[in-house]
Structure 1
């Protein structure tokens, strides 16, 4: 008897449903989110034919959590079904629009019964890649948190402290620069910045790590802080300075988290056998390479062709066609983390690879806008990465961006 299993995941409990090949409900159970609940699930599966040789496939609406991790570790095929797809399948089975946790578990089981070949099971990545994925995603989240903290601080400083914004307007890192954060820590208001002595300011930027042109930078900052600026009332300015110190503490914590997680991610990534191939690509440093590996994994059966990988990353266009209407646009449903890393990769490759730069210029000349040309470059290099990882060979500029073959000369008349 062919049995499929559906699990409706909830925070503290899970509803389990098993259906056979004729869509009959043959088993149901509510389990807790603990070791005892997992053992109850294994017993239910075993009662209906589950074995190491023929494990029952399982559908669930998430790819994360202890339950999913334990199911994958036991060798079972686990399918993470998008909740939007589950909602469409639910309408297929009932027109009353009723909903319950048990009913959703039955719908998930029926999805595998009827359309298992249309869904991809979770990849069989090695534990090293899973650990890299945890750190790489946490580091990427920390970068986004740092950006949000920076933007909040900058928005607040615009209300009362234009001098600090002017002082670091030409710096690439703006308020993320160590010198800016060091000065804000000792002078969170314009009044305190104007009263800074040369020795105190010099000591602050030295503490921040500056090693060159310290005296010139100190004089420049003193000149900026001692200009005439618009000011808030003194009491209000002091209160806003206290708020700045609180926002600065959040920014410092985010910066520290970024640095710590980046170091741990790079250390783990360099232990993986794919690291050498990935970092051989122009524009892929150790950290961005770790993010790429974290999202594509090392299960080479996951993406049969480069086209599958491109669709997953969102770099391949999608066509919408109906009657005489036909429109080609970029994909909105994609792995957003991989797509974000791809933009950084393509941009960095412009200066690291002459072939990538020529390809980008060609796309721009043919009418692509900036982001479209970058996305097309990422699409091409992603296909090259798929080939190199499959064939176990490093990137070769001469092969990746080989000049087009010239057409044979026509025979003389």
Structure 2
């Protein structure tokens, strides 16, 4: 067998090849792209045994996605994507000096796959549909996060020179189309105070009880508030117009990507199973699928899926001291999706709510209880996906014996 450590960068790969005894056979820097992959194949061909197959070549790299990894998997090599923190800890085992280099990192990765491959997770190829779902859902969520950042900047600016706007528009939401139109129409306190009921009502089109809401907004905008000097107010108004323009574009692109997420997720064979889970809708279901992936052998058990999700606790014990803590190293996107699922599930599923209430009677905080609810829901999802069966409340919670008729 050959063991290859691949320390990747944006435009090149530092590669080290070792044999089963740990002898370094070759160190080389390869370019990214087709030329690099061709040279990688030539390099492996020089040292692999004549009767060996591609699966006898084990590659360790600090990523599990991208064209390079896909090419390695397609060639038949066994690829292990490791967390950078894992690689850093193994590098410390090899030497305590703290020295670091690209060649040294490649050496550590090669040694890691040679000595600890039984502890590492092999890259399991997801289907093209799941990969497509991941691309659009991550892009969609990234735009949502960007909109939130710009909304917070907008809120700070309004607080500094136009506090009446925050008070008047709070019920509508600063990122709503109605508020954005009003801010474009009247970005200063003086202009906002002159808005008529007709102008405000036109921006609220499509909402309920427009007349009352328009009057409430007018009353707040025309009340007395602290402000800035006229010249400073004009400067702030310019920045607010720019922020509004950015948020408007983000709103449009988020809506477009929502359609793409729904379309790609709807094509996946596991979509019906995922949507049957409590607390999950199309967007949230797409995120869960994207972050878990759909490779059949990736999670050997429900516990393995929970560990990857970051919902299961970790135990620290030394002597007579034992503590149980939440996992802080996890996939942020997946944890966010599972937290939202748990928050929704306790509102709409009686069995989930009963489990949550049971946890709360033990003086567990809200977030800790939601984390445990999410952990339980991950286990249920694993069982449903494994058996290709829809969520059934009676089966999922049968051992808890909750009275769901109360």
Alpha-carbon separation, structure 2, partners of 1:290 and 1:405 = 31
Aligned to 2:32: 33
Residue 409 of structure 1 corresponds to which residue in structure 2?
none
| 1:96-141 Cα distance to aligned partner (Å, 9 max, x none) | 4433212221211111111101000112211110111111111111
Specify every segment of 5 or more residues in structure 1 that has no aligned partner in the other structure, as ranges.
407-413
Task: Determine the structure 1 residue equivalent to 2:364.
Answer: 368
Give the TM-score taking structure 1 as reference length.
Answer: 0.93
Equivalent in the alignment of 1:64: 65
Deviations 1:281-306 (A, max 9, x none): 11100110000000111112111110
Residue 319 (str. 1) matches residue 318 (str. 2): no
Residue 355 of structure 2 is aligned to residue 359 of structure 1: yes
Quote the Cα distance in structure 2 between the aligned partners of 1:325 and 1:237: 59
Report the aligned-residue RMSD. 1.7
Report the 3-state secondary structure (helix = DSSP H, G, I; strand = E; otherwise coil) of the residue aligned with 2:346.
Answer: helix
Give the C-alpha shift of residue 52 in structure 1.
Answer: 4.8
1:10 matches 2:9: yes
Q: Which residue does the alignment assign to 2:202?
A: 203
Q: Normalized against structure 2, the TM-score is what?
A: 0.94
Which residue number in structure 2 is paired with residue 133 of structure 1? 134
Partner of 2:27, secondary structure, is strand
Inter-CA distance 36–244: structure 2 relative to 1 (3 Å threshold): same
Q: Is the CA contact 2:59–2:77 (under 8 Å) kept in the aligned structure 1?
A: yes
Whether contact under 8 Å (1:60, 1:78) holds in the other structure is yes
Which residue matches 2:119? Answer: 118
CA contact (8 A) 1:183 1:205 kept: no
Tell me if structure 1 keeps the 8 A contact 2:59–2:78: yes
Task: Report what 1:184 is aligned to.
Answer: 183
Q: Does 1:284 align with 2:283?
A: no
Partners of 2:103 and 2:337 in 1: CA distance? 39
Shift in Å, 1:403 = 6.0
* Residues 16, 27 of structure 2: 8 Å contact kept: yes
Query: Match for residue 377 of structure 2?
Result: 381
CA–CA separation in structure 1 for the residues paired with 2:258 and 2:401: 43
* Equivalent position SS for 1:176: coil
Secondary structure of 1:395's aligned partner: coil
How far, CA to CA, are the matches of 2:190 and 2:330 in structure 1?
49
Report how far residue 192 of structure 1 moved.
0.9
Report the 3-state secondary structure (helix = DSSP H, G, I; strand = E; otherwise coil) of the residue aligned with 2:277: coil
The aligned length equals: 400
Q: 1:153 to 1:224 in 2, by over 3 A?
A: same
**Per-residue deviation at 1:46?**
1.7
Does residue 152 of the first structure (1) align with residue 148 of the second (2)?
A: no
CA deviation profile, 1:303-327 (whole Å, cap 9, x unmatched): 1110111111111111100011111
Aligned twin of 2:90: 89
Matches of 2:112 and 2:171, distance apart in 1: 56
User: 2:364 aligns to what SS in structure 1?
Assistant: coil
Q: Are 1:12 and 1:32, in contact at CA under 8 Å, matched by a contact in 2?
A: yes
Counterpart-to-counterpart distance in 2, 1:17 and 1:336: 32
SS class of match (1:107): helix
Runs of 5+ unmatched residues, structure 2: none
1:335 pairs with one of 331, 341, 347: 331
- Relative to 1, partners in 2 of residues 1:236 and 1:322: Cα closer, same or farther, differing over 3 Å? same
How many angstroms apart in 2 are the aligned matches of 1:13 and 1:110?
20
**Alpha-carbon contact 1:3-1:18 (below 8 Å) kept:** yes
Offset from partner CA, 1:131-172 (integer Å, 9 cap, x none): 11111111111111111111111111100111111112334x
> Does 2:165 correspond to 1:169?
no
Distance in 2, matches of 1:270 and 1:130, equals: 13
**Residues 234 and 95 from structure 1, CA distance in 2 versus in 1: closer, same or farther, beyond 3 angstroms?**
closer
